[in-house]
Amino acid sequence: MMRSDKIGGRELKRTIRDMLKQDDFKAALMMLCQLPAREVINPLFSFFYSMDELTKWRAVTAVGTVVSDLARKDLESARVVMRRLIWNLNDESGGIGWGSPEAMGEIMARHKKLAEEYARILVSYAQKDGNYIENELLQRGVLWGLGRLARSYPGFLKESDTFIPPYLDSSDCTVRGLAAKLCGILRLDAARASLQKLKNDKTSIPLFCEGMMRTYPINRIASDALSRLRMIDGTVETAIRRVEK
């Protein structure tokens, strides 16, 4: 086991940075979880501002892993981290909050109790009548975080058909792509017409998936989302035929 008490602050940060860049990222995550969570959180937060996209996204994954593990041992300490992420997105914090909505989504996707307590806050960042975030770069993080949460606990995104589809018309291509992906995950029928339009959008966007950065064209994301909607159509038609028999 790695001994953090023998590593100075700067050296610990360099060590964590190297771990985030490892080819075997799953092994690196296991090593990170062996370190005291309170000691690795700050260095991981600092990598949310990394110019290297892969490092930034892996830091988000690492925070989700470390904090969800912490929550199983010390729920209140995990709540402190969640409140810190929320504060980072508060205008009064004086910061911008890069990486915070993504980390919130990652943590909650891994720990249901934290999702029960904080999902509504992450959702509110996407709602015009909530704590709406206007910055399109931060909107990317909010939508990604909601998508991560939705894959584990879609029930926490009730009535999302009223506030997610408008993002499909965003001037920001990444926001459009992430919104399309989220509409597919949640199978939002209200987004069907807008998703059809996006089938003509050939813009490609980078997405973090399974520990790596990959590029996807928006029209493919939209087509995948529509395929999920057609699965619902097929299920409904089958159910109707059974009733008619």
| Model pLDDT, residue 8 | 58
| Cα–Cα distance measured from residue 39 to residue 8, given in angstroms and rounded to the nearest whole number | 11
| Model pLDDT, residue 136 | 96
Q: Are strands 204-209 and 212-217 parallel, antiparallel or unpaired?
A: antiparallel
Q: Name the residue with tokens 């590593």.
A: 7
| CB-based contact 149:112 (threshold 8 Å) | no
Over residues 93-144, the pLDDT tens digits come to: 667 899 999 999 999 999 999 999 999 999 999 999 999 999 999 999 999 9
| Model pLDDT, residue 91 | 75
| Model pLDDT, residue 237 | 43
| Model pLDDT, residue 96 | 83
- Tell me how far apart the 2 most distant CA atoms of the chain are, in Å: 72
All structural domains of the chain: 1-158 (no CATH), 162-245 (1.25.10)
Amino acid residing at 116: E
| Model pLDDT, residue 6 | 52
What are the structure tokens assigned to 174, written together? Answer: 């990444």
Backbone angles phi, psi at 227, to 5 degrees: -65, -40
How much is the pTM?
0.90
pLDDT under 70: residue ranges of the chain: 1-8, 93-94, 232-245
Residue 245: partners with Cβ closer than 8 Å, 6 or more residues away = none
